Structure 1
Amino acid sequence: MAFGKLAGKLALAAGLITGLGLQSAQALDKITVAYFLEWPTANQAAQIDKTYDDALGLEVEWRAFGNGNEMVQAMVSGDVQIAYSNGFVPFVVGVSSGAPIKLVGVAVTYAENDLCIVRNDSGITKENATALEGQKVATPIGNVTHYKLIRTLQHLNVDINKVNLVQMNPADAAVAVLRGDVVMGCAFGGALDRMKTVGTPLMTGAEQEAVGINTFDVVNVTNSFAEEHPELVTKFLTVTNQANAAYNADPDAALGKIARAAGMDNELAQKMIANFGFPSNEEQLSEDWLGGGIQAAAKGVADVMVSAGGLDQALNDYSTFVDASYLK
């Protein structure tokens, strides 16, 4: 979906949301949490064990989405109250366009699990990356993957305006790369392994981090849910923190549950999650994250998206959309 259309839909929905009364102040019996399949995270052990249900005292429905923009739209429409491991870019684009959501935590840090894979038979590498100009490249538009693509091409002196970007979710991008419909596909999760059978990363995650292209996903909640049920947001983050601590202490103990929730076999899930980091609540409250780093990064992301034509206008300040109080 083009950014202009996405922003228009978000703004329209945000205008309607106040009149819908999506979450009443009455006791809830169910909430819906957005997440990604083929994206194993430590908290999915608690998802399988229904630890969230027990702690929150209600049914927690986990609904899978194809990309972060879809998560934001579902939150704006009121179908989803919490988005777990949503992309940072969809969050920034969403609030820039009026989406009534906020960032309350960092879900996962990663680098090697969100890459652009170029077909080996194209002969294109980071050394001659300008050969991508005039070629088709598949990517989910408007999310972290797209942002990393923009930053990577800028670093490699590729004119992104001369690259034919095709909107595709990861699974579709993998198919397109395998068939040769596109010269490069950018994706996250299990789709990367499929693309790597015929291609190689244009830049590795380590190479991207070395030039300041960092990668992390966040926890978003709707404003109405957070304001009317703050104790539930805190309990959700507490359960997540406990699951992260348990995983960090013994990564293999809950692997089977995590893989099942992610829709993966144990081997692939283990390979992927080994490249993930799950910061504790204390770490998230530091200056590097919700203590100031996230707010500054949001402004930086927005400015990059505006310069690339992916966002009409950046806000002057994003601090009002980041709330660390639920972590404390």
Structure 2
Amino acid sequence: MSLRPARITRRRALGVAAAAVLALTASACGSDDKDGSAGNAAGDGGKRTTVRIAYQEIPNADLIVKDQRLLENALPNADVKWVKFDSGGDVNTAVIAGAVDFGLAGSSPVTKGLSAPLNIPYKVVWIHDLIGDNEALVARGGITDIKQLVGKKVATPFGSTAHYSLLAAFQSAGVDATKVNVIDLQPQDALAAWKRGDIDAAYTWTPTLSELEKDGKVLITSRQLAEQGKRTADLGIVTDKFAKAYPDIVTAWIKVQDQAVKLAKNSPEQAAQAIGRQLNLTPEQALTQLKQLVLLTAAEQTGPEYLGKPGAPGKLAENLRDAAVFLKSQQKVDAVPDASVFAQALAVEELARAAG
């Protein structure tokens, strides 16, 4: 696979996106309804709901929910379909295509999704994890400082939290991002390019990150950037349409996520076994990666630092707006939405209903 330059024309970008939408709609739409909508309410006239979930191979509690079939057990009258994606940007494309109902995407692609030109009608209903040492910038070839990346090839998935963090790392180090050859590659493609010697560095996440670390040097992690005020997270989203049509399913989804987080906190070895099965890792490897993340229970997420409560949206709204300001400075979004846009996008009522 040849490396693509960071800049492509708008017409070509739209063409690529349109092709992706068609492919995703064909492969991921799992509705039993003739109109391709999310499905009928479980138990309504004997018809079954199809719940379509976009997930990523990130070692958090979402994989426990999948491995243990917690949602399937909570919704016996529904068909739960899990669809794997490589980045939050791809999840956004799937939502636009009408191909999924729930999804996991990083705070950067969610910020882009809530901003122009995308303006995706979805809500943030869960914080899957606060990103720490599981995302990092790794370099090779004797590169030991971010400033040495000028003129080098650096891979990251465009529109992801890793992309946001990479740009933040450049800014923090005083590096002009336009003087670095930043290449859009998904984690597995970045690993292949790394093995071929086609790239000098990559900002990506585990489990790919663990492979790069074997013969590369970590220059900065997302945990370090968070300490500088550039916090990132993996977020759970639900489409407005689905949340309105199936509030009971949204409640069930939040409750099983909470159940999985509590398992990870109280029995990390058992949680690591489930995550290891999903990622083809040993329990020891999975446990190491799990510990790189910060997981929050539903009760913790209702706190002011996170999603918050009805009438009192949490600081996550400010974090998303700050990310929009940064992305606008990098010309990644058309404009910075009003703070109320991000506050209204936090599904605090749905969270409170499930946490209560």
TM, length-normalised to structure 2: 0.82
SS of the residue 1:108 aligns to: strand
Q: Which amino acid aligns with 2:89?
A: N
Residues 50 and 220 of structure 1, relative CA distance in 2, 3 Å threshold: same
Letter in 2 for 1:50: R
Counterparts in 2 of 1:296 and 1:69: CA distance versus 1, 3 Å = same
Alpha-carbon deviations, 1:204-223, whole Å to 9, x = none?
34432331222311110111
Structure 1 residue runs without a partner (length 5+):
14-19
Q: Which has the higher contact order (CA 8 A, sep 6+)?
A: 1
**Following TM superposition, by how much is the alpha carbon of 1:237 offset from its aligned partner in structure 2, in angstroms?**
0.4
Secondary structure (helix, strand or coil) at the match of 1:237 reads helix
- Equivalent residues in 2 for 1:8-157, closer than 5 Å: 22-23=37-38, 26-27=41-42, 28-37=48-57, 39-57=58-76, 58-84=78-104, 86-96=105-115, 97-119=118-140, 121=141, 123-126=142-145, 129-157=146-174
Deviation per residue, 1:38-89 (Å, 9 max, x gap): x2222433322322112123121211101111111112212111013x1111
SS of residue paired to 1:142:
coil
Aligned AA for 1:103? V
Paired position in structure 1 for 2:350 = 326
Amino acid at match of 2:293: F
Alignment size in residue pairs: 314
CA contact (8 A) 1:290 1:324 kept: yes
Deviations 1:71-129 (A, max 9, x none): 11112212111013x1111111012122111111111112110111011x2x3223xx3
Aligned equivalents of 1:46, 1:308: Cα separation in 2: 36
Task: Say if 1:173 and 1:186, in contact at 8 Å, map to a contact too.
Answer: no
In structure 2, do the counterparts of structure 1 residues 131 and 45 end up closer, same or farther at CA, with 3 Å as the change threshold?
Answer: closer
Kindly state the Cα deviation for residue 24 of structure 1 after the two structures are TM-superposed: 5.2
**RMSD value, Cα:** 2.2
- 2:288 corresponds, among 262, 271, 274, to 271
The amino acid across from 1:180 in the alignment is G
- Which amino acid is 1:208 matched to? L
Q: Is the 8 A contact 1:76 1:222 kept in 2?
A: no
| Partner Cα separation in structure 2 for residue 7 and residue 99 of structure 1 | 19
CA contact (8 A) 2:269 2:283 kept: no
Deviation of residue 26 (structure 1)?
4.2
- The 1:307/1:273 distance shift into structure 2, 3 A limit, reads same
Distance 1:259 1:159 in 2: 39
Tell me, in whole angstroms, the C-alpha distance in 1 between the residues paired with 2:15 and 2:351.
Answer: 29
Q: Does structure 2 retain, via aligned residues, the 8 Å contact 1:22–1:224?
A: no
Aligned pairs for 1:291-310 (under 5 A) are 291=308, 292-310=314-332
Aligned to 2:31: none
- Shift of residue 297, structure 1, vs aligned partner: 0.8
Q: Separation in 1 of the partners of 2:249 and 2:240?
A: 13
Q: State whether residues 38 and 49 of structure 2, in contact with CA within 8 Å, keep that contact through their aligned partners in structure 1.
A: no
| 1:195 and 2:215 correspond | no
Q: Which amino acid aligns with 1:56?
A: L
Instruction: Tell me, yes or no, if the aligned pair for 2:54 and 2:91 is still in contact at 8 Å.
Output: yes
Question: Does structure 1 retain, via aligned residues, the 8 Å contact 2:187–2:208?
Answer: yes
Contact 1:56 1:236 in 2 (8 A): no
Counterpart code for 2:235: V
Higher mean C-alpha displacement, 257-266 vs 290-299:
257-266
Q: Is residue 240 of structure 1 aligned with residue 257 of structure 2?
A: yes
| Offset of residue 254 of structure 1 | 3.2
**Distance in 2 between the 1:2 and 1:278 partners?**
36
Q: Is the 8 A contact 2:272 2:284 kept in 1?
A: no
Give yes or no for contact 2:124–2:237 (8 Å, CA) kept in 1.
yes
Tell me the distance in 2 between the aligned counterparts of 1:243 and 1:104. 16
- 216, 223, 239: which one pairs with 1:222? 239
Q: What is the TM-score with the length of structure 1 in the denominator? A: 0.89
The answer to which of 254-263 and 153-162 deviates more is 254-263
Q: Which moved more, 1:210-219 or 1:143-152?
A: 210-219
Measure the CA separation in 2 of the matches of 1:43 and 1:149.
25
| 1:16 aligned partner | none
Equivalence map 1:274-289=2 (5 Å) = 274-289=291-306
**Residue pair 2:40, 2:49 contacting (<8 A) in 1 also:** no
Percent of aligned pairs with the same amino acid: 27
State the alpha-carbon separation in 2 of the partners of residues 256 and 41 from structure 1: 12
